[in-house]
Structure 1
């Protein structure tokens, strides 16, 4: 059974989406300096695309994200601690997640979304790697339940 099967059942899905959105907000709040201001401004623009846009996107890409990190997760299960393994393999985890978002943005017709993503894609891996421990905590919360 993959992460998508276990984590996106109807009783957990809405809570996971909400927790992922809170995680994104928390990651954004921790950013400082000029790059932090730029990220926060870009995120505000994306939130303005339409009401509920960020939760909508999270809901749309979550199954693919879980599928993308399944091999790393499964290695961790075999080694005895999938959360620790996800954290120890932040680079691979970030690459897997960014593969999902790269594919998704190529399909979007919203120029503001594509332009914003392309502008920040060069520094995205660093930010995603920093978020892996928080994502691992979200996953851990729901794989225990």
Structure 2
């Protein structure tokens, strides 16, 4: 299991499958949202997908290399801990057990991208969504780990 995430997930033969599974993960996470803020997320997400079909897949594909780089240290720590004595834990559980550093690493990718953007609409929308982003990322960590492990295993 000591293969790097980069080697396992960014291979040209696997990349499309990884991106598709991550798009499904995002769809599922949005679908599971509830309450007033969940309704707003669902409405906005549906609108974005309707206005520009394929945008979610494209954004994931664009950011995948940086997300994998952000997750790599956590993957290597997971692999090292899995080789030690003790009950096996899946990568999703490992990520969920380390929510702060993992979510900060992932959000660092989008923070850097938003900071570089020249498009006011994108930076404005990102700044409005960013305060709740960490909570949403943390909620998605078990599923994210499952997708990563599926393709890296």
Tell me if both proteins adopt one fold, taking TM over 0.5 as the criterion.
yes
Cα contact 1:42–1:116 (8 A) shared by 2: no
Structure 1 distance, partners of 2:98, 2:147, is: 17
Query: Unaligned 5+ residue runs, structure 1?
Result: none
Mapping of 1:22-101 within 5 angstroms?
22-48=24-50, 50-80=52-82, 81=89, 83=91, 84-101=93-110
Question: What TM-score, normalized to structure 2?
Answer: 0.85
Distance 1:115 1:47, change over 3 A: farther
- 1:47 shift after superposition: 2.8
Question: What TM-score, normalized to structure 1?
Answer: 0.90
Mapping of 1:97-116 within 5 angstroms?
97-116=106-125
C-alpha RMSD of the superposition: 1.7
Cα contact 1:65–1:100 (8 A) shared by 2: yes
Q: Point out the structure with max Rg over C-alpha.
A: 2
Higher relative CO (Cα under 8 Å, sequence separation at least 6) belongs to 2
Q: Secondary structure at the match of 2:33?
A: coil
Q: Secondary structure at the match of 2:53?
A: coil
Greater mean alpha carbon deviation, residues 84-93 or residues 118-127: 84-93
**CA deviations over 1:98-123 (Å, ceiling 9, x no partner):** 00011112223333332222111001
User: Is 1:134 the equivalent of 2:139?
Assistant: no
- 1:27 shift after superposition: 0.3
Greater mean alpha carbon deviation, residues 63-72 or residues 100-109: 100-109
Cα contact 1:75–1:82 (8 A) shared by 2: no
- 1:82 shift after superposition: 6.4
